[in-house]
C-alpha cells in the first residue's frame, strides 16, 4: 500500500517544501523535486507486467533512486541542522529577532556573519520553518529505510530463486 503511494507523497512533500520557502533552501528542495519526479515517474523499478514479455526488461537500475534518497537526506539534514545552528547563533548574538527582518533595525557590524548565513534561509526564525525542516528530515529517514528494506527483500528473493 505504502509503496504504491509513496512517490506521490514525496512529490507533495518536496513541492510543499519548495513552495512554502521561496528562498535558496526552497530552490534546493525544488531541484530535489525535479530529480525525484525524473527518478520515480520516468522509470519503473517494480516489474511492470509487460516487462515479462520483453526481451530486455525496461527497468531502471536502482542506483538513481538510491542517489536521490542520499541527496534528500543530505539536504534535509543540512537544512535542519542549519536552522537550529542559526537559531543558536541568533540567541548567542544577543539579538531578539531575525537580522533579515526588515521591520527591526538590528543590522550592526557584530552580526554580519549571522546575516550572511541567514541569507540562505531568511525565515529561519519561525517555528513553521523549523517544523517543516523536521518533517522533511523525518520523511528522508523513512525513505532511506524503505529503500534499504526493498533492497534487502530483492536480495532475499534472488537468493531464494537461486
Partner 1 sequence: MPLVNRQKNLLKKAEHFVKDYNFKQEVLLALQFCLLAILSAATRTLTNTPYQLIMLSQGLVLTLGSMSTFKRFSVYLNRILVILLVVDLVTMYVILIFNLPEDGRKVKDYAFEVFGFIQNPTSYTIFGLKILLFALECQRMSFAAPMADLKFKACLQEQVN
Binding residues for partner 1, rule: CB under 8 A, are 11, 15, 18, 22-24, 26-27, 30-31, 34, 37-38, 41-44, 48-50, 52-56, 58
Closest CA to 140 of 6, 45, 25: 6
How far is it, in rounded angstroms, from Cα 79 to Cα 137? 8
Report in angstroms how near the CB of residue 43 gets to partner 1 at its nearest. 6
- Closest by CA to 37, choosing from 76, 68, 66, 78, is 68
Contacts of 110 (CB under 8 A, 6+ apart): 93
Q: For the CB of residue 109, give the shortest distance to partner 1 in the complex, in Å.
A: 26
Compare residues 15 and 142 and give the one whose CB is closer to partner 1.
15
Q: Smallest distance from the beta carbon of 6 to partner 1, in angstroms? A: 15
Cβ closest to partner 1, residue 11 vs residue 115: 11
Based on CB atoms, which residue is closest to partner 1, 11 or 66? Answer: 11
Which residues, at least 6 apart from 136, have a Cβ–Cβ distance to it below 8 Å? Answer: 13, 17, 29, 76, 79, 80
CB of 88 to partner 1, least distance (A): 26
The residue (of 27 and 131) whose beta carbon lies closer to partner 1 is 27
Q: How far is the CB of 151 from partner 1 (least distance, A)?
A: 21
Let me know: does 29 contact 21? Beta carbons within 8 Å. Answer: yes
Please, which residue, 43 or 117, has the CB nearer to partner 1? 43
d(CA 136, CA 52): 36
Amino acid at each position: 500500500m505504502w509503496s504504491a503511494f509513496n512517490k506521490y507523497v514525496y512529490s507533495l512533500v518536496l513541492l510543499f517544501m519548495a513552495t512554502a520557502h521561496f528562498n535558496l533552501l526552497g530552490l534546493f528542495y525544488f531541484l530535489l523535486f525535479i530529480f525525484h519526479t525524473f527518478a520515480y515517474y520516468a522509470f519503473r523499478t517494480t516489474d511492470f507486467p509487460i516487462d515479462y514479455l520483453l526481451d530486455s526488461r525496461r527497468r531502471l537500475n536502482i542506483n538513481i533512486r538510491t542517489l536521490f534518497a542520499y541527496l534528500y537526506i543530505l539536504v534535509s539534514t543540512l537544512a535542519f541542522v542549519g536552522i537550529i545552528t542559526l537559531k543558536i547563533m541568533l540567541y548567542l548574538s544577543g539579538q531578539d529577532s531575525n537580522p533579515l527582518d526588515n521591520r527591526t533595525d538590528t543590522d550592526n557590524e557584530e552580526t554580519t556573519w549571522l546575516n550572511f548565513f541567514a541569507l540562505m534561509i531568511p525565515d529561519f526564525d519561525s517555528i513553521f520553518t523549523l517544523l517543516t525542516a523536521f518533517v522533511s528530515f523525518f520523511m528522508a529517514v523513512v525513505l532511506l529505510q524503505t529503500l534499504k528494506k526493498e533492497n534487502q527483500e530483492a536480495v532475499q528473493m534472488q537468493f531464494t530463486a537461486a
